[in-house]
Chain A
């Protein structure tokens, strides 16, 4: 039995017992992750692992079917000049683009993630959010990236946020649910921790930092707090929850820092695309350039890598 088979049974958590975050401690810990020496062989493995964890993303108002097909092509063929590369974990698009992505990806084994619930603001009535989720799943999305209602969360209506996540989870059916906290809008690390606990208890399969539309998006401190929340939730309930930092992770070096943090906080069990993702649009090419540099010793140029 895999650990993921432990079902989520939504029950409202006792938020008064949620640990407070020591911000200075978090920042010091984060600084340590950035000072690890990574040897070449480990670096190569890490770079390939990062590629396999990427949710290749396009979430723009200007997205066209052509753009989505191009992204899917990139997802399947990261850089064919270098054999032995993994493919990315998923392609992340708006609900209206799910069918295009499904057709383009075919039997490649790459998942289709769709944002839903009035992404990115989340400002829509619940029945519309539920309907949107169902449509995305019906069109072929295997993963749903929902946003929480930050307005309600900040107003202290935790029950509303909890119920909403639980309802969306139900609407997802077999699709995995990633819950975006939009940490850039909820502010303090204490609130990030509280929102993480709320989302996990409500049934989230993944918790995710950001939409990428708000600055700051993913940061190392915020991600550490969420990883710690996942660890404590696992100790409490035995259920594994995945983590997805998204937005602002655009170079390989930073992504490796995130992996170091993952390894030292949650351990090897989480070091797979099943439990960890990077939401990014421009990370893949930088990782590819670093891999190529490792092979040839020559610094690379974006001119020689296909755009995504």
Chain B
């Protein structure tokens, strides 16, 4: 016998994130995530439509508070997320490597993700100024248009960009005061679960971001049809997938936002128009003396 006994490895349980808590799927189901050689890396929760329903309830109840918080605070919190992500850099790199990319590429992706959060944190108190307007009208009214969050946004995150693509879609939605329910990449879900832990430790109120893992085919329909979701963002699929999403979304006239075939590594993929896309314009007529 050796003097030192080998430690029993402590494997992490990858769970979903709903309303600031980390439950397992209510369905009790999971799917094994395998590496290129077919070895199991981890068991991932296979979220159900009931998990999605619960997540929308959490997102809906969190939205008024988050939407009413000051732009400054939302920026601070996003910046805090970036700080926490930076502190966990090695963990995220390791997870990306486990999912089959080189360490160098993994480091680049984590760094780009942190930078992207800071980019959108910076926009938190600026996009209103860019997109709001004072409108000339031919009556004695002061007429102005301002942005308001659309509400609850469901996000089918990019399948091929498990961390950077995920954050690139969450950040512009929440910085604008929306809350969201996200379906993580089916084949690259590790970082999504770890990101939930980062969000949890960053003053993001519970319910603002809810992250599910599971099968796109099973959940995409509910993501597009739920009557209490105000907008859907999708990042993959051909014309037939887009048609299905649009048809289901039509019931309550959701905003449907296609972000297909975007290179999330590119700087061009980050811009304030992504924030604007999940905002509603409210125009006010204010009487003034002639």
Contact = CB atoms under 8 A, between A and B. Distances in A.
B263 interface: no
Contact of B225 (A299, A302, A303, A304): A299
In the complex, which of the residues B49, B225, B227 has the most CB atoms of chain A within 10 Å of its own CB atom?
B227
Interface of chain A, main secondary structure: loop
A300 interface: yes
Interface of chain B, main secondary structure: helix
A297 B227 CA distance: 11
B228 A298 contact: no
Interface in A262-308: 297-304
Contacts of A298: 225-227, 251
A49 B252 CA distance: 29
B172 to A, nearest CB: 23
**Interface size class of chain A, counting residues whose CB lies under 8 Å from the partner chain:** under 10
A301 B225 contact: no
B53 interface: yes
A299 B251 contact: no
A303 to B, nearest CB: 7
B16 interface: no
Contacts of B251: 298
Contacts of B49: 299
Nearest to A297: B225
Interface string B191-228: 00000000000000000000000000000001001111
A299 B228 CA distance: 7
B197 to A, nearest CB: 27
13 contacts: A297-B225, A298-B226, A299-B52, A299-B53, A299-B225, A299-B227, A299-B228, A300-B227, A300-B228, A301-B226, A301-B228, A302-B228, A304-B252
Given A300-B228, A301-B228, A304-B252, 11 more contacts: A298-B226, A299-B49, A299-B56, A299-B222, A299-B227, A299-B228, A300-B227, A303-B227, A303-B228, A303-B252, A304-B227
